[in-house]
């Protein structure tokens, strides 16, 4: 039986690609084989358009134990502890079925982490929606949020933070990126590379159903008006089984029975078996009659391409089956030997005593197509925003407008749906610059932050790429953590468009430059292309998830101002850059000008100086200055504690709007007691760090001398208002 042209097209393969398939097989492929090629060669699994560029990223330093290429990245945090983490997208499924799409996104990323031998200790997310005015947004938002919560809460991993953003660009293509962080013993990390001949290949976890067939291929195509008809390709999650699988795997990992382990994620049984064999330079032979199936009469095609969740593939060492099976029996999970490793370097599938597929492993992995897509770099927006040409607006009105905007409003109505405290190690929940989670039973903690700046990236992808890495670094510093490494999720439109590819290449260049300068390697990640509907691409939206270490639990800072009479300093130079700012966007619906420049030298200097002040106990509260500039960041500190601020006008300045709303980078707000002012001068001078006093903490009035005076409580009300109004509309 050979395949038809229609079938090739329906599998998202080009005719050139099919020609190659024929060449590798030495014959025509059958439908099952075509399905397997399609699953392995699609963008989602093969990274065929991104690989050549991803190679440029720095992925190593002295703390990196495992960089990209495994289920998740692994870094050393001392005392034999390793942190395992990764971020991944589940954009397409979440648009089609928001609850299940988001839930299985969380499930998948958790499996990536515990596959490596780590107990997950925190979840984070970055979710992007269309305009709140779009009729789909509300349903998508509430579905995604309950899906994220529904899964993480049930498994019992705290969801400790994230970001939620709105922009028209995501009207027809939302982004749901989930990050998981786990803790492992650095000497007990498990990998996917198979080793040894005739080893048992074991299937564990849920049974295989017909859900999610060809999910990875769906995720590698753009949407059109009929996308919602793709619902059957979305998987359904079962967090209960995930919890059992997690406990069973970790129990089995206590001894040395597992040679290699791989979760069945995108492209299920196909990609997991091929991944293991390919990395081990081995062959693999499976008897599909053994695969535990949920439904009757499932065909080999369905079994190989199902994306049913909560399944794992293990390769066990000799004579370990019995003991291992006992553990899975205890947890009431399937445990079936479905095949063995071979020396053929081929994937051989048998069903009903017949060989139904026979493919060289290399054809599916190393020899998968690789494209150097053409790209054009975008011309940068050079125009400067002339503040004097804008309609007059009062400073306090501009502030309130930003605070009550969807993007800047209080998101506790979202995070209150996530269990943030289970596992009893969450020191800092969402709402600050980074989440802080203690290492169980130890006197140290990790900080985690997830960031994106799509507006900056759209205006100038390279600067935008740099900026997110820098902002992420800054967010980690702000809680007192030494930044260690990042994971990235690169959400873009179609790589077949030269301008989108140009955005991708430039964002990578920016990320690379910042990561190299800050010694902040990329240890894992995911690329999500084809985020577009009816040929309209989303803004380039790379998302960075960073992890840092805190070695002294007494020196953790947050954004809450502490005491009346204390001073707030701006660390870093304020020039007043308004291009691409929240001030322009929220008040004038403008997204003009270039994004703020990143000076990596200042970034590093300022950050390290702030970190030193935190470690010395001088900086009492810290907040990075980002979207909205100084005034919005000050308001956030004030709202967090309920205390007020007396804000001083800048001495030398310039335009007040530029000063208070400018989004110049590399800046922090720090609170310190007046007595310490002298002590810090020397340190700042030594490190060449610019600073100035901007405010003093006071009772409950938030004011700029001589300009306006508001009650902190009113800021809080304003900050909560958007959601209350949004929620009231049915």
Q: How far is the CB of 253 from other proteins (least distance, A)?
A: 17
Looking at the Cβ atoms of 425 and 603, the one nearer to other proteins is: 425
Interstrand relation of 691-698 and 644-647 (parallel, antiparallel or unpaired): antiparallel
Distance CA 607, CA 524 (A): 24
Q: How far is the CB of 413 from other proteins (least distance, A)?
A: 9
Distance CA 631, CA 694 (A): 10
- Looking only at Cα atoms, what is the longest distance across the chain? 87
Distance CA 105, CA 86 (A): 12
DSSP class per residue in 89-133? E-HHHHHHSHHHHHHHHHHHHHHHHHTTTPEEEEEEEEEEE--TT
Q: How many CA atoms lie within 13 A of 354 on its CB side?
A: 4
Name the H helices within 365-497. 395-403, 412-415, 454-459, 461-478
Integer-rounded Cα Rg, in Å, for the chain is 26
Number of DSSP helices (H) and strands (E) in the chain, helices first:
25, 28
Compute CA distances 550 → 78, 208, 514, 523, 624, whole Å: 11, 42, 22, 19, 18
Looking at the Cβ atoms of 101 and 594, the one nearer to other proteins is: 101
Looking at the Cβ atoms of 25 and 553, the one nearer to other proteins is: 553
Looking at the Cβ atoms of 210 and 243, the one nearer to other proteins is: 243
Report yes or no: 350 and 476 within 8 Å, Cβ to Cβ: no
Q: How far is the CB of 617 from other proteins (least distance, A)?
A: 16
Report yes or no: 472 and 452 within 8 Å, Cβ to Cβ: no
Looking at the Cβ atoms of 154 and 621, the one nearer to other proteins is: 154
Q: How far is the CB of 415 from other proteins (least distance, A)?
A: 8
Report yes or no: 645 and 704 within 8 Å, Cβ to Cβ: no
Distance CA 533, CA 527 (A): 18
Looking at the Cβ atoms of 244 and 361, the one nearer to other proteins is: 244
Q: How far is the CB of 678 from other proteins (least distance, A)?
A: 32
Active-site hit among 53, 90, 214, 623? 90
Looking at the Cβ atoms of 385 and 445, the one nearer to other proteins is: 445
Q: How far apart are the first and last CA of the chain?
A: 54
Q: How far is the CB of 248 from other proteins (least distance, A)?
A: 10
Looking at the Cβ atoms of 419 and 586, the one nearer to other proteins is: 419
3-class DSSP assignment, residue 26: coil
Length of the chain: 730
Structure tokens at 302: 């369905």
Reply yes or no on whether 135 is catalytic: no
- Cα angle at 184 between 72 and 549, to 5 degrees? 85
Reply yes or no on whether 53 is catalytic: no
Distance CA 491, CA 128 (A): 11
3-class DSSP assignment, residue 354: strand
Q: How far is the CB of 157 from other proteins (least distance, A)?
A: 8
Residue 480 CB contacts under 8 Å (≥ 6 apart), including other chains: 447, 550, 552, 555, 556, 557, 611, 614, 615, 622
Report yes or no: 596 and 665 within 8 Å, Cβ to Cβ: yes
Distance CA 570, CA 631 (A): 11
Active-site hit among 44, 53, 214, 691? 44
Chain residues in the site for other proteins (CB under 8 A): 146, 149-150, 153-156, 238-241, 243-244, 330-332, 412, 416-427, 438, 553
Looking at the Cβ atoms of 160 and 582, the one nearer to other proteins is: 160
Q: How many CA atoms lie within 13 A of 303 on its CB side?
A: 24
Looking at the Cβ atoms of 149 and 595, the one nearer to other proteins is: 149
Looking at the Cβ atoms of 424 and 682, the one nearer to other proteins is: 424
Distance CA 580, CA 582 (A): 7
Q: Note every long-range contact of 655-660, with CB atoms under 8 Å and residues 24 or more positions apart, other chains counting.
A: 655/387, 655/576, 656/395, 656/707, 657/387, 657/395, 657/398, 657/576, 657/578, 657/583, 658/387, 658/575, 658/576, 658/577, 658/578, 659/574, 659/576, 659/630, 660/395, 660/629, 660/630, 660/631, 660/704
Looking at the Cβ atoms of 150 and 579, the one nearer to other proteins is: 150
Distance CA 11, CA 9 (A): 5
Structure tokens at 648: 């001083």
Name the H helices within 358-439. 361-364, 395-403, 412-415
Report yes or no: 183 and 82 within 8 Å, Cβ to Cβ: yes
Q: Tokens 């899906």 — which residue?
A: 147
How many other C-beta atoms can be found within 10 angstroms of the C-beta atom of residue 280?
Answer: 22
Looking at the Cβ atoms of 330 and 713, the one nearer to other proteins is: 330
Tell me the catalytic residues. Answer: 44, 90
């Amino acid at each position: 039986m050979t395949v038809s042209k229609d079938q090739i097209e329906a599998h998202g393969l080009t005719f050139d690609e099919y020609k190659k398939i024929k060449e590798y097989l030495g014959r025509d492929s059958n439908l099952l084989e075509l399905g397997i090629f399609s699953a392995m060669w699609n963008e989602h699994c093969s990274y065929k358009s991104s690989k050549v560029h991803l190679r440029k990223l720095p992925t190593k330093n002295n703390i990196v134990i495992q960089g990209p290429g495994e289920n998740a990245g692994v870094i050393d945090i001392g005392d034999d502890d390793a942190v395992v983490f990764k971020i991944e997208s589940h954009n397409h499924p979440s648009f089609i079925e928001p609850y299940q799409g988001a839930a299985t996104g969380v499930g998948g990323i958790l499996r990536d982490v515990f596959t490596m031998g780590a107990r997950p200790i925190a979840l984070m997310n970055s979710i992007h929606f269309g305009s709140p005015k779009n009729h789909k947004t509300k349903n998508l938002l509430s579905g995604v949020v309950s899906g994220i919560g529904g899964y993480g809460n049930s498994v019992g991993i705290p969801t400790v933070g994230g970001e939620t953003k709105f922009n028209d660009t995501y009207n027809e293509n939302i982004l749901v990126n989930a990050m998981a962080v786990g803790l492992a013993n650095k000497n007990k990390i498990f990998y996917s590379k198979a080793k040894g001949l005739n080893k048992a290949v074991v299937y564990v976890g849920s049974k295989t159903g017909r859900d999610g067939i060809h999910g990875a291929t769906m995720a590698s195509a753009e949407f059109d008006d009929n996308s919602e008809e793709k619902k059957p390709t979305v998987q359904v999650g079962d967090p209960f089984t995930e919890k059992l699988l997690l406990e069973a795997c970790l129990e089995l990992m206590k001894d040395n029975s597992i040679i290699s382990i791989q979760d069945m994620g995108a492209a299920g049984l196909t990609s997991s078996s091929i991944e293991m064999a390919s990395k081990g330079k081995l062959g693999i032979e499976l008897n599909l009659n053994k695969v535990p199936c949920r439904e009757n009469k499932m065909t080999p095609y369905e079994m190989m391409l199902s994306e049913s969740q909560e399944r794992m593939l293990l390769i066990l060492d000799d004579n370990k089956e019995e003991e291992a099976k006992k553990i899975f029996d205890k947890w009431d999970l399937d445990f079936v030997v479905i095949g063995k490793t071979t020396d053929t370097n081929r994937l051989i599938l048998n069903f009903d005593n017949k060989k139904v597929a026979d493919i060289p492993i290399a054809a599916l992995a190393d020899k998968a197509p690789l494209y150097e897509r053409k790209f054009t770099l975008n011309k940068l927006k050079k125009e400067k925003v002339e503040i004097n040409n804008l309609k007059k607006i009062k400073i306090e009105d501009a502030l309130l407008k930003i605070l009550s905007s969807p993007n800047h409003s209080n998101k506790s109505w979202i995070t209150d749906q996530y269990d943030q405290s289970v596992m009893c190690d969450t020191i800092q929940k969402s709402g600050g610059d980074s989440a802080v989670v203690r290492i169980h039973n130890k006197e140290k903690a990790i900080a985690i932050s997830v960031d994106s700046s799509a507006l900056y990236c759209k205006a100038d992808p390279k600067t935008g790429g740099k900026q997110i890495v820098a902002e992420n670094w800054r967010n980690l510093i702000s809680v007192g953590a030494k930044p260690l490494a990042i994971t990235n999720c690169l959400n873009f439109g179609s790589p077949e468009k030269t301008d989108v590819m140009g955005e991708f290449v430039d964002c990578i260049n920016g990320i690379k430059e910042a990561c190299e300068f800050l010694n902040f390697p990329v240890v894992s990640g995911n690329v999500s292309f084809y985020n577009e509907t009816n040929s309209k691409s989303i803004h380039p939206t790379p998302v960075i998830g960073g992890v840092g270490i805190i070695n002294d639990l007494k020196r953790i800072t947050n954004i809450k101002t502490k005491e009346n009479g204390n001073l707030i300093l701006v660390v870093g130079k304020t020039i007043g850059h308004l291009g691409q700012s929240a001030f322009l966007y929220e008040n004038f619906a403008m997204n003009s000008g270039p994004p703020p420049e990143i000076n990596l030298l200042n970034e590093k200097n300022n950050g390290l100086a702030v970190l030193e002040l935190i470690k010395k106990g001088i900086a009492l509260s810290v907040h990075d200055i980002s979207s909205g500039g100084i005034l919005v960041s000050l308001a956030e500190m004030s709202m967090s504690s309920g205390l007020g601020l007396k804000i001083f006008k800048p001495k030398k300045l310039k335009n007040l709007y530029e000063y208070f709303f400018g989004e110049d980078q590399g800046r922090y707000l720090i609170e310190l007691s007046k007595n310490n002012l002298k002590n810090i001068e020397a340190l700042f001078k030594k490190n060449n760090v610019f600073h100035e006093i901007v405010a003093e903490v006071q009772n409950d009035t938030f004011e700029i001398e001589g300009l306006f005076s508001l009650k902190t409580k009113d800021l809080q009300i304003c900050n909560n208002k958007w959601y209350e109004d949004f929620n009231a509309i049915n």
